[in-house]
Amino acid sequence: MANKRKWPWRQLLGEHPVVGWRHHIGLIVMAVSCLIIDLFTKELALARLSDGRIHSWLDGWLELKLVFNPGAAFSMGPGLTVFFSSLAVLALIFLTVVVAPRAEGWVANLLVGLLIAGVAGNLTDRLLRPPAFFRGHVIDFIAVKYFAVFNFADICLTVSVIVVFVIIFFGSKPSQPAQS
């Protein structure tokens, strides 16, 4: 029997090719609710912070301030907005067509829901916000001193990616047969 290589993502998606949509209620609820929270908080930030106001807590360690981000994480690549928009479209298609139908178990479903919400939240900004379609700037408004300015979609992405890496690298390993 050939030794079939097991890819790390199999720990999250399982061995089954596709499971019915009823097994993905948690994924759907997570994705939709987190996307709604992201869109709502961005609209709230636009309404309350557009005048340049900054709300500061913990001696300036945490601030709410409005930033229009044309780039990726940490405002890297501001001239690559179209590239990031295209990449986000491809990622969203991959997540919804390939990954989500194969997510097995509640943890995998919630993590994939978080990923979809994060990608969709920032993609919505890139598609619909000024200056133009596919060139829109992402609305960021949560600032941590000496770190970055980000939004709820970024939190969804970061949490899901960290948990995925923890599961892949520190999750349960298949037991090895005893050597005689």
> In the prediction, which pLDDT does 1 show?
47
- Identify whether 38 is a catalytic site residue: no
Beta bridge partners of 142: 64, 150
Of 38, 51, 125, 140, which one is the catalytic site residue?
140
Both ends of the chain: CA-CA distance in Å?
21
pLDDT digits (tens, 9 = 90+) for 121-167: 999 999 999 999 999 999 999 999 999 999 999 999 999 999 989 98
Distance of CA 85 to the CA centre of its chain: 14
Instruction: In whole angstroms, give the CA distance from residue 25 to residue 39.
Output: 21
Q: How far is CA 125 from CA 44, 53, 155, in A?
A: 14, 21, 16
Distance of CA 122 to the CA centre of its chain: 9
pLDDT digits (tens, 9 = 90+) for 53-108: 999 999 999 999 999 998 887 677 888 899 999 999 999 999 999 899 988 889 99
Give the position of tokens 């019915």.
20
- Identify whether 140 is a catalytic site residue: yes
β 55-57/62-69 pair status: antiparallel
3-state class (DSSP) for residue 113: helix
Q: Residue 149 is inside which H or E element, if any?
A: strand 149-150
